[in-house]
């Protein structure tokens, strides 16, 4: 059966919020979608402390992620089993099971195995900043780049199945215009302490880094519903303090930078993650 496939590779449950619209759009177009999570977000804080304690937060996050995946029509879900490393400089960075303590060769091997199993044409992960500098986001960015190349080489990790060459690897992030909009609104209302550590002039994609701008307004209600299923989406986060109409403006566009391609460069204005990707051959 001829199928196009899209794979998102992220660090924690809820990271897929950056590409929720793309997952819905391409599902509607007949694309099979999948998501990989390196951790279960064990170190995050639940917005309702009654529902979760530190010892079972990972289990709750996985359950909520599965509900969100259903809402996004994602039928393929993988957890690599590493532990959330926490924010920079915290004790969780040193936990022996933390993602940032894991052997890169091991993580890349696991990801290459999933790529060879799922056989996506398009892969999406974080950019080099990890969105806002989270160590796990930066780690999964590095490992996904490695896995994109390793999965295509049948001399490496032969035990992980036949080699597969994905057509494109994209980074996803916010745009700097979005970040500036949020910063301005929050600072105007004396919430500057919440935003004090975020450099709005260097966080997110600049205009010349954006290769694809997806208008996901037609899928926005579904996207926001899936996002709401994560208990860990903290109501004190800056984005969740924005008025609903501004939140919709934040979520109705998604931004992608082409990291590497085996099918040529994107053309400005195409705004299609699968542009120039050949139709897959029919398989039994």
Q: What residues make up the domain containing 125?
A: 5-175+207-239+254-261
pLDDT at position 53 is 53
Q: Is residue 196 part of a domain?
A: no
Q: Is residue 226 part of a domain?
A: yes
With contact defined as beta carbons under 8 Å apart, do 119 and 6 qualify?
Answer: no
Distance of CA 207 to the CA centre of its chain: 20
Kindly report the backbone phi and psi dihedral angles of residue 54, in degrees, each rounded to the nearest multiple of 5, phi listed first.
Answer: -55, -35
Q: Is residue 279 part of a domain?
A: no
Q: Is residue 32 part of a domain?
A: yes
Q: Is residue 183 part of a domain?
A: no
Kindly report the backbone phi and psi dihedral angles of residue 88, in degrees, each rounded to the nearest multiple of 5, phi listed first.
Answer: -55, 135
- Separation CA 147–CA 113 (nearest Å): 9
pLDDT at position 115 is 98
Q: Is residue 182 part of a domain?
A: no
The confidence band for 194, taking pLDDT boundaries of 50, 70 and 90, is very low
The confidence band for 139, taking pLDDT boundaries of 50, 70 and 90, is very high
Dihedral sign, CA of 158, 164, 170, 172? negative
The total domain count for the chain is 1
Q: Is residue 213 part of a domain?
A: yes
pLDDT at position 55 is 74
What CATH number corresponds to the domain at position 101?
3.40.50.10320
- pTM value? 0.90
Q: Is residue 148 part of a domain?
A: yes
């Amino acid at each position: 059966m001829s199928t196009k496939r899209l794979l998102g590779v992220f660090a924690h449950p809820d990271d897929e919020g950056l590409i929720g619209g793309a997952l819905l759009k391409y599902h509607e177009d007949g694309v099979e979608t999948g998501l990989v999570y390196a951790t279960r977000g064990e170190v995050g804080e639940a917005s309702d402390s009654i529902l979760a304690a530190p010892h079972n937060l990972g289990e709750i996050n996985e359950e909520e992620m599965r509900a969100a995946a259903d809402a996004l029509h994602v039928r393929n879900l993988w957890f690599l089993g590493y532990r959330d490393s926490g924010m920079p400089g915290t004790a969780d960075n040193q936990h022996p099971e933390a993602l940032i303590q894991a052997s890169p060769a091991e993580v890349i091997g696991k990801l290459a195995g999933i790529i060879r199993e799922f056989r996506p044409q398009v892969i999406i992960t974080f950019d080099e900043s990890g969105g806002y500098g989270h160590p796990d986001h930066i780690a999964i960015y590095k490992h996904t780049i490695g896995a994109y190349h390793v999965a295509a080489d049948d001399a490496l990790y032969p035990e992980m199945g036949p080699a597969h060459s994905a057509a494109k690897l994209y980074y996803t992030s916010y745009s700097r215009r979005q970040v500036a909009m949020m910063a301005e609104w929050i600072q105007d209302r004396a919430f500057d302490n919440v935003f004090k550590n975020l450099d709005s002039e260097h966080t997110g994609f600049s205009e010349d880094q954006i290769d694809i701008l997806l208008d996901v307004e037609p899928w926005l209600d579904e996207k926001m519903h899936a996002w709401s299923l994560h208990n860990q989406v903290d109501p004190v986060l800056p984005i969740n303090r924005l008025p609903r109409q501004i939140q919709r403006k934040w979520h109705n566009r998604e931004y992608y930078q082409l990291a590497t391609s085996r099918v040529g460069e994107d053309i400005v204005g195409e705004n299609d993650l699968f542009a120039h990707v050949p139709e897959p051959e029919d398989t039994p």
